[in-house]
């Protein structure tokens, strides 16, 4: 059985045990070991004080030796005899050995006096006197722990000793105490502590039993009253017999029961009113459900009509976008034509420039032909004059006779050259005349071509202006069509948004119908719960003793 199912008295006892158990653990596991260590340290200090007292005896006899009153042998013998008789705590004694581990004085080992004790070992095999001499040589004094037999007892027991070196004689003075005595004191303290703790626990248990009975009785009364309330008796009241926490709990319980009576009465009235209100709400919900369903159907039809209109507007917007695209294409073609006309105009300007330069060249050729004709006429004149000179030369050579034959030959050749020159000049003159006629005709044709090209340039400029006006018109038409398409698109989007909103409103209306139906079902559930609440409230008897039952 778990602790939660135990009685209050058992819980109090367990609580006191839980408090006392750590206390016992601390006492047994920490306090008593600390006490034992403290007792050991106190014993060691007591042993040191005892050794210091016996040390004073050795100092006194050593002072007599230094004063010459006694020899060293006499002083040592008298000091050993005095220390052998010296006791403290009734039975504790001293012993003396030298630095060579020879036993000088021991009241319980007379047979071993003067013997070397290097081979002496305790039951654990420890060379006790060797360790004592080592400690005395190293520190001069200190404590030594080993195991030894108590006089009159064959069993070895732990012993704590204290030794001190008396340097003038080379003696090691020591005394010890058996640890068994410390253990006995610790055991006695443990028994006293356990008896005290046990007695305190017994008193706590008795006090807890008394207190728990004083607490359990009213708590049991409260438990009985609570069971009666559970069974439906709200007329119960617990007698308050104290002013402590249990008394305040009792008063709070009585106040709670009184409040519960009021709550139950109010619940009975509220349950009846809730059932009536639920019936009215159910009727209103049915009417609201019918109206909402009709509104939802009407909104659905409106949404379908708006969707159809939006579809037609969307088709118009698509057609407008197509027309805008076609207008944009025509505008592009017109712009390309305008560009071609512009290029043709620029080419015609270039042709006019070329023709004008050609006309200028022809004019220069005509001028050059005239200059060439003048030069040919000059050449013909020179040829005529040369021929006349050749004739004159031939006459003069004939006159010279034999000496003029060479001049006659030269004159003949000159006459031939002049003849050929005149013939060539005549041919050139004929060709130059023909060239002048042809050049004049070409110049006339160029002047006519330039006029025609200028007329073509005018027509091209007019065509370019017309094309620019056509492109501007097409662009304006495209912009109007584009705006119309955007406007149709916005109208279509607005129609679709309106249709979506109407559709959403229709869906919400449908959801409202479902919600109203859910409200109707909830109202039915509420009416059923109100009836159930009224039945449950009727289980409680909320009348005070002596009250008349309500109708």
pLDDT tens digits for range 106-143: 998 888 899 999 988 887 888 999 999 999 999 999 99
Any idea which residue has 């008789």 for tokens?
Answer: 85
Average the pLDDT over each of 160-174, 360-374, 472-486 and give the range with the smallest value.
Answer: 472-486
Q: Could you give the percent of the chain with pLDDT greater than 70?
A: 69
Note the pLDDT of residue 60. Answer: 94
User: Mind listing the pLDDT tens digit for each residue in 49-86?
Assistant: 999 999 999 999 999 999 999 999 999 999 999 999 99
For residue 9, pLDDT beyond 80: no
User: Mind listing the pLDDT tens digit for each residue in 160-197?
Assistant: 899 999 999 999 999 988 777 666 777 777 788 778 77
Question: Which sign, positive or negative, has the C-alpha torsion 89, 92, 96, 99?
Answer: negative
* Element holding 36 (H helix, E strand): helix 32-67
How is 315-329 classified by DSSP, letter by letter? Answer: HHHHHHHHHHHHHHH
For residue 278, pLDDT beyond 70: no
pTM to 2 decimal places: 0.35
Contact 266, 533 (CB under 8 A): no
For residue 312, pLDDT beyond 70: no
Q: What's the pLDDT band for 550 if we cut at 50, 70, 90? A: very low
Note the pLDDT of residue 239. Answer: 77
> What mean pLDDT, rounded, does the chain reach?
76
Q: What is the DSSP letter of 116?
A: B
Of the ranges 149-158, 371-380, 468-477, 499-508, which is most confident? 371-380
Note the pLDDT of residue 546. Answer: 46
| Best CA proximity match to 59, nearest among 118, 411, 177, 67 | 67
Note the pLDDT of residue 334. Answer: 63
Note the pLDDT of residue 488. Answer: 63
Q: What's the pLDDT band for 548 if we cut at 50, 70, 90? A: very low
For residue 547, pLDDT beyond 60: no
φ/ψ of 515, rounded to 5, equals -65, -40
How much of the chain is in helix, strand and coil states, percent to nearest 5? 80, 10, 15
User: Mind listing the pLDDT tens digit for each residue in 61-70?
Assistant: 999 999 999 9
Q: Which CATH class, in words, describes the domain spanning 9-211?
A: alpha beta
- For the record, the structure tokens of 11 come out as 């819980």
* Contacts of residue 465, Cβ cutoff 8 Å, sequence gap at least 6: none
Name the 3-class secondary structure at 141.
Answer: strand
Give me the mean pLDDT over the 351-372 stretch.
73
Domain residue ranges of the chain, discontinuous segments joined by +: 9-211, 279-537
Note the pLDDT of residue 131. Answer: 93
For residue 551, pLDDT beyond 50: no
Higher pLDDT, 471 or 501: 501
Name the 3-class secondary structure at 128.
Answer: helix
Note the pLDDT of residue 3. Answer: 53
Distances (CA, A) of 357 to 337, 352, 361, 450, 455: 30, 8, 6, 11, 18
Q: Which CATH class, in words, describes the domain spanning 279-537?
A: mainly alpha
| Best CA proximity match to 411, nearest among 428, 391, 438 | 391
For residue 206, pLDDT beyond 50: yes
Note the pLDDT of residue 151. Answer: 62
């Amino acid at each position: 059985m778990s602790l939660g199912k135990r009685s209050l008295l058992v819980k109090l006892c367990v609580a006191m045990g839980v408090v006392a158990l750590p206390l016992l653990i601390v006492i047994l596991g920490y306090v008593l070991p600390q006490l034992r260590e403290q007792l050991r340290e106190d014993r060691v200090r007591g042993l040191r004080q005892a050794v210091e007292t016996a040390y004073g005896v050795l100092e006194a006899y050593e002072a007599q030796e230094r004063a010459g009153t006694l020899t060293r042998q006499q002083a040592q013998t008298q000091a050993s005899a005095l220390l052998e008789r010296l006791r403290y705590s009734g039975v504790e004694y001293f012993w003396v050995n030298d630095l060579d581990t020879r036993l000088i004085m021991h009241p319980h080992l007379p047979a071993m006096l003067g013997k070397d004790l290097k081979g002496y070992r305790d039951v654990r095999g420890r060379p006790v006197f060797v360790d004592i001499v080592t400690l005395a040589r190293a520190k001069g004094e200190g404590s030594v722990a080993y195991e030894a037999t108590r006089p009159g007892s064959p069993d070895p027991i732990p012993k704590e000793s204290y030794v001190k070196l008396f340097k003038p004689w080379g003696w090691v003075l020591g005394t010890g105490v058996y640890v068994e005595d410390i253990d006995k004191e610790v055991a006695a303290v443990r028994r006293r502590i356990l008896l005290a703790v046990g007695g305190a626990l017994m008193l706590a248990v008795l006090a807890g039993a008394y207190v728990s009975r004083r607490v359990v009785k009213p708590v049991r009364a409260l438990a009985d009253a609570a069971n009666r309330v559970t069974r439906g008796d709200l007329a119960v009241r617990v007698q308050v017999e104290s002013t402590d926490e249990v008394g305040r709990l009792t008063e709070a319980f009585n106040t709670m029961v009184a409040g519960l009576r009021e709550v139950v009465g109010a619940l009975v009235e509220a349950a009846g009113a809730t059932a009536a209100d639920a019936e009215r709400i159910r009727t209103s919900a049915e009417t609201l459900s019918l109206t909402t369903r009709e509104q939802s159907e009407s909104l659905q039809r409106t949404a379908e009509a708006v969707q159809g209109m939006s579809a037609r507007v969307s088709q118009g917007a698509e057609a407008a976008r197509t027309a805008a695209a076609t207008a944009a294409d025509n505008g592009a073609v017109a712009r390309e034509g305008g560009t071609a006309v512009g290029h043709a105009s620029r080419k015609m300007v270039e042709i006019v420039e070329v023709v004008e330069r050609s006309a200028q060249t022809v004019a220069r050729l005509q001028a050059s032909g005239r200059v060439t004709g003048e030069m040919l006429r000059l050449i013909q004149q020179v040829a005529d004059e040369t021929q006349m000179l050749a004739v004159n030369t031939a006459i003069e050579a004939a006159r010279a006779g034999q000496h003029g034959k060479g001049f006659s030959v030269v004159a003949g050749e000159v006459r031939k050259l002049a003849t050929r020159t005149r013939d060539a000049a005549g041919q050139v003159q004929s060709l130059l005349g023909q060239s002048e006629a042809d050049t004049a005709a070409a110049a006339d044709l160029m002047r006519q071509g330039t006029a025609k090209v200028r007329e073509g340039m005018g027509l091209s400029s007019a065509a370019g202006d017309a094309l620019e006006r056509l492109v501007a018109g097409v662009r304006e038409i495209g912009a109007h069509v584009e705006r119309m398409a955007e406007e149709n698109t916005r109208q279509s989007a607005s129609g679709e948004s309106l249709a979506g909103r109407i559709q959403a409103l229709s869906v919400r209306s449908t959801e409202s119908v479902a919600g109203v139906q859910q409200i109707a079902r909830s109202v039915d559930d509420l009416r059923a719960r109100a009836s159930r609440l009224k039945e449950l409230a009727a289980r409680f008897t909320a009348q005070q003793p002596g009250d008349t039952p309500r109708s």
